[in-house]
Amino acid sequence: MHTFSRADFERFGQLYDIEFRFPAIHGDPSADDHSVARGEITEHGLASGFRFTFSSLEVLEGYESVSCGHAPLLVLVVLDGIVELTLGSVEHALTPGTAVSMQLHPDYPLQAHQPEQQHLEIVALAFDPRGATLGHVSPSLHGLTTLPRVPLRKWNVPPALKELLQTYAGLTMTGVQKNLVLEGLALQLAGLGLGGEEHESTHVPVVPVQQRQRLELVRQHLEFTPDHHHTLKNLADMAAMSPSGLRAKFRAMYGVPVFDYLRKCRLRLAKHYLEQGFSVQQSANKVGYIHATNFSTAFRREFGFSPRQRTVDQKK
What gap in Å lies between CA 37 and CA 217, rounded to an integer?
Answer: 38
pTM above 0.85, yes or no: no
Lowest average pLDDT, out of 6-15, 122-131, 185-194, 202-211, goes to 202-211
Share of the chain above pLDDT 90, in %: 50
Q: Is the pLDDT of residue 39 over 70?
A: yes
Residue pair 75/122 in contact (Cβ under 8 Å)? The answer is no
Q: By the 8 A CB rule, do 150 and 194 touch?
A: yes
User: Which has the higher per-residue pLDDT, 169 or 60?
Assistant: 60
Q: How far apart are CA 131 and CA 125, in angstroms?
A: 13
Quick check: 134 and 81 in contact, CB under 8 A? no
Mean of the per-residue pLDDT values of the chain: 85
pLDDT higher than threshold 80 for residue 183: yes
Average pLDDT over residues 123-131: 82
Would the pLDDT of 140 be above 80?
A: no
Is a pLDDT exceeding 90 seen at residue 15? no
Q: Is the per-residue pLDDT at 100 higher than 80?
A: yes
Q: Does domain 204-315 have CATH number 3.40.50.410?
A: no
Residue 70's pLDDT is 84
| Other residues' Cβ atoms within 10 Å of the Cβ of residue 307 | 25
**Residue 194 predicted with pLDDT over 90:** no
Beta carbons within 8 Å of 134's beta carbon, 6+ residues apart: none
Rg (CA), the chain: 21
Please list, in sequence order, all residues whose beta carbon lies within 8 angstroms of the beta carbon of residue 6, skipping any fewer than 6 positions away: 20, 22, 25, 31, 32, 33, 34, 36, 61
Q: pLDDT tens across 206-256, in order?
A: 678 788 888 988 998 999 999 999 999 999 999 999 999 999 999 999 999
Q: 238 versus 117: which is more confidently predicted? A: 238
Question: Where are the chain's structural domains?
Answer: 2-194, 204-315
Is the Cβ–Cβ distance between 58 and 38 less than 8 Å? yes
Question: Is 202's pLDDT higher than 70?
Answer: no
The 10s digit of each residue's pLDDT in 277-313 is 899 999 999 999 988 899 999 999 998 988 887 655 5
Residue 203 backbone phi and psi in degrees, to 5? -100, 5
**155 pLDDT more than 90:** yes
pLDDT at 203: 46
Residue 255 has what DSSP assignment?
S
- Topology alike, domains 2-194 and 204-315: no
End-to-end CA distance of the chain: 39
Grouping H, G, I as helix, E, B as strand and the rest as coil, residue 234 is helix
- What is the reported pLDDT for 277? 87
Distance CA(76)–CA(150), nearest Å, equals 14
**Mean local confidence (pLDDT), 18-34:** 81
Band of the pLDDT at 196, cuts 50, 70, 90? low
The topology under which CATH files domain 2-194 is: Jelly Rolls (2.60.120)
